[in-house]
Amino acid sequence: MNGTHLRRTCGRCAVPLALLSLFALVGCGSGGAQGKLTGKVLYKGKPVTGGSVIFRPSSASENTVTAPIDPNGNYTAMVPAGVVKIAVDNRELQPPEATAKKEPRPNLPKVGNVPSDTPDPRVNPQKPAGTYIKLPDKYHDVASSGLSYTVKSGSQNYDINLEEAK
């Protein structure tokens, strides 16, 4: 292989390689400012003791952010700066209906040396931390909650006060 052929081949790679490098530096999304939100979720003045807070930025290029609510009603989230719609969902804490029939445990093949009395996490997943509090359905979805906040760059406190449905 002569030097002229090698230079011509490498020259063809230079432009795509430069573009690829540029995309790697820019990345996905806007890469813009973010705010660290901390606060408490309250329903009728009392802490919501589990579940999640969902923040949906108004910009379609930004990802939705979900933050867990701790047993004291607190949350912390890094959220893109700008207007966000908010939802609060704790339905995963809702106890199963008393009238629901208990599903029989599926007969799965044994894997390795797992004792037969060890619960299969695929059948009985861990219950999330917290206590279920019935919230009005409108708060479960950002489209119906009526909650929004303008996130600024840096740290800020925002308590989410949920009211009883009218």
Q: Please compute Rg for the chain using Cα positions.
A: 25
Token pair of 42 as six digits: 């309250």
| Least confident piece of the model among 37-51, 86-100, 105-119 | 105-119
Q: Which residue in 89, 85, 21, 78 sits closest to 59, CA to CA?
A: 85
Q: Flag whether pLDDT at 83 surpasses 70.
A: yes
45 in a structural domain: yes
Q: Tell me, what CATH number does 95's domain have?
A: 2.60.40.1120
Local confidence band at 131 (pLDDT 50, 70, 90 cut-offs): confident
Question: Do the domain assignments include residue 14?
Answer: no
Q: Which helix (DSSP H) or strand (DSSP E) does residue 142 occupy?
A: helix 142-145
Distance CA 28, CA 33 (A): 14
User: What is the pLDDT confidence band of residue 125, given thresholds at 50, 70 and 90?
Assistant: low
Domain tally for the chain? 1
Q: Would residue 22 count as lying in a domain?
A: no
Q: Which domain holds residue 123?
A: 33-162
Least confident of 23-27, 44-48, 128-132: 23-27
User: What pLDDT, on the 0 to 100 scale, is given for residue 114?
Assistant: 56
- Overall pTM surpassing 0.85 (yes/no): no
Tell which phi-psi region holds residue 50, choosing left (phi > 0), alpha (psi between -120 and 50) or beta.
Answer: left
How far apart (Å, rounded) are the C-alpha atoms in residues 51 and 66?
10
Q: What is the band of 30 on the pLDDT scale with cuts at 50, 70, 90?
A: very low
34-43 and 154-157: which strand pairing?
A: parallel
pLDDT at 82 over 90: yes
In-domain check, residue 122: yes
pLDDT at 95: 85
More reliable by pLDDT, 121 or 97: 97
